[in-house]
Structure 1
Amino acid sequence: METKNVFSTMLVFFSLLVLLISAGPAPAGQYKALQGADSVDTIFDFRKGNPAGALANLSLAHETFTDKAIREVSEKPRFVVIFMGTAVKLLSSDRSAFTEEQRKTLEKMDNVISKMVKDGIKLEVCLYAVEYFGVDPETISPEIDVVPNGWISSIGYQANGYALVPIF
């Protein structure tokens, strides 16, 4: 069953990739939803717990951050990714519970995370979820800020005008 999910996730990822490549970046004027917007502040509530799906979604979030349409609205958009739920397991350097193929995917995910941080995307992880799922907080990259409760962080960003994008 897991192989079927990985295949489905990869199919969706490659379909999105083909669409992005074929369409190219679109100017903000092509998105009616961006008309009148003067900033793009976004929080991604990230709970995707399988490596392939997480890689696809993080890659798409990063591509969105660098998209020409977003940059026409905000020269420096503010994006935050908060890892909660089973997604916290993917952030640990202890990868003993994963298959070799999943470990390779997680290494690619680590590279995407590093690029996101370099580009100015803020990353947070919910300590409550880390403890609940038995992840050692010391095994989480220092690139990712640990917050006591991801929901409170999410509430705070939304109260400050950030749009919410759920990734479950």
Structure 2
Amino acid sequence: MMANYRSIFRRIPRIFFAAVYMVLMSVPAGAAGYDNALKGVKNYDAVYEVSQGDPKVVNPVFLVIKNSYEAPEVKALAKDPNIAIVFHGPVVKLLSTDSAPFNEAELVEVQKFQATLKQMKKDGVTLEVCRFALKGMGVDEATIIPEIDPVDNGFVSVIGYQMQGYAVVRIP
């Protein structure tokens, strides 16, 4: 009986993110309600600092990130959105072509995630990975998908974007 509770509690973060995603995706475009949030906004510049390394969690989160810069209200701003994503921590394993660390179900999620990143790159999103994180997580830089640009220190990138006026969004 205790094992069943443990199983349920391990799934709570996944269930939470899935529920948030489903709610956000069900909001009709006309009911977005960004009048207050985007009042007077000309630039939509954001840097996402991502360390979340669960393949089942990152996919719904990244679909919401993609939706944020594709939202009609954002597209209607005076300037095109500038989006950067800086990866560090466990997520760097999901950027690699090395499939050894993943079981079959996880590998399917990793491949979906990488496909989303490839589309984001085509959309003009800047994608960077921290070399310190690669080294710390034992990921060979040569295996990182080509859409991701390695940087020596991801924190320097995040701070640099912030100093340029980008809003920082953390996804731990």
Q: TM-score, normalised by structure 1?
A: 0.90
RMSD: 2.0
Could you tell me which runs of 5 or more consecutive residues in structure 2 were left unpaired when the two chains were aligned.
1-5
| 1:41 aligns with one of 45, 53, 63 | 45
CA distance in 2, matches of 1:74, 1:3: 46
Find the residue that maps to 2:102 and give its secondary structure.
coil
Q: How does 1:58-97 map to 2 (within 5 A)?
A: 58-97=62-101
Could you tell me which runs of 5 or more consecutive residues in structure 1 were left unpaired when the two chains were aligned.
none
Q: Greater shift after overlay, 34-43 or 67-76? A: 67-76
Find the residue that maps to 1:30 and give its secondary structure.
coil
CA distance in 1, matches of 2:35, 2:170: 20
Moved over 4 A (4+): 1-4, 26-29
Give aligned pairs, total. 167
Identity, % of aligned pairs? Answer: 32
Report if aligned partners of 2:21, 2:61 keep a CA contact under 8 Å in 1.
no
Q: How far off is 1:86 after superposition?
A: 1.1
Q: How far off is 1:78 after superposition?
A: 0.2
Find the residue that maps to 1:33 and give its secondary structure.
coil
Provide the residue aligned with 1:156 in structure 2.
160
Find the residue that maps to 2:86 and give its secondary structure.
strand
Report if aligned partners of 1:29, 1:35 keep a CA contact under 8 Å in 2.
no
Provide the residue aligned with 1:130 in structure 2.
134
Q: How far off is 1:29 after superposition?
A: 6.0
Report if aligned partners of 1:28, 1:68 keep a CA contact under 8 Å in 2.
no
Q: How far off is 1:74 after superposition?
A: 4.8
Q: How far off is 1:34 after superposition?
A: 1.3
Q: Say if 1:65 and 1:161 are closer, same or farther in 2 by CA, change over 3 A.
A: same
